[in-house]
Structure 1
Amino acid sequence: MKAISYSRYGGPEVLAFGEVRDPKVGPDSVLVKVRAASVNPVDWKAREGYLEGLFEAAFPVVPGWDVSGVVVRPGVAVSEFDVGDEVIGYVREDFLSRGTFAEYVAAPLRTLARKPRNLSFEEAAGLPLVGLTAYQVLLKVLQVKRGETVLVHAAAGGVGSIAVQLAVHLGARVIGTASEHNHDFVRGLGGEPVTYGEGLGERVRGLAPEGVDAVFDTVGGDALKVSANLLAPEGRLASIADIDVVNYGGRYYFVRPDAEDLRRLSELAEQGVVSVHVSETFPLERAADAHRLNEQGRTRGKIVVTVDWEPEDT
Structure 2
Amino acid sequence: MKFFDEAKIFVTAGKGGDGCISFLREKYISKGGPNGGNGGNGGNIYLLTNHNINTLNKFHIQNHYFAENGFPGEKNQCTGKKGKDLVLIIPIGTRVIDLQKKIILADLNKNNQKVLIVKGGKYGLGNINFKTSINRTPYQNTKGCLGEKKILKLELILIADVGMLGLPNTGKSTFVKNISKAKTKIGNYPFTTIKPILGVVKNNIGNTFFIADIPGIIKNASLGKGLGLNFLKHLERCNLLLHLVDISNKNIINNINIINNELKKFNRNLFLKEQWLIFNKIDLLKNNKNIDIYIKKVLIKFKYIKKYYLISSKNNIGIKKLCCNIFEYIKKNINK
TM-score (norm 1): 0.23
**Richer in helix (by share):** 1
Larger radius of gyration: 2
With CA pairs under 8 Å and 6+ residues apart, which has the higher RCO, 1 or 2? 1
| TM-score, length of structure 2 as denominator length | 0.22
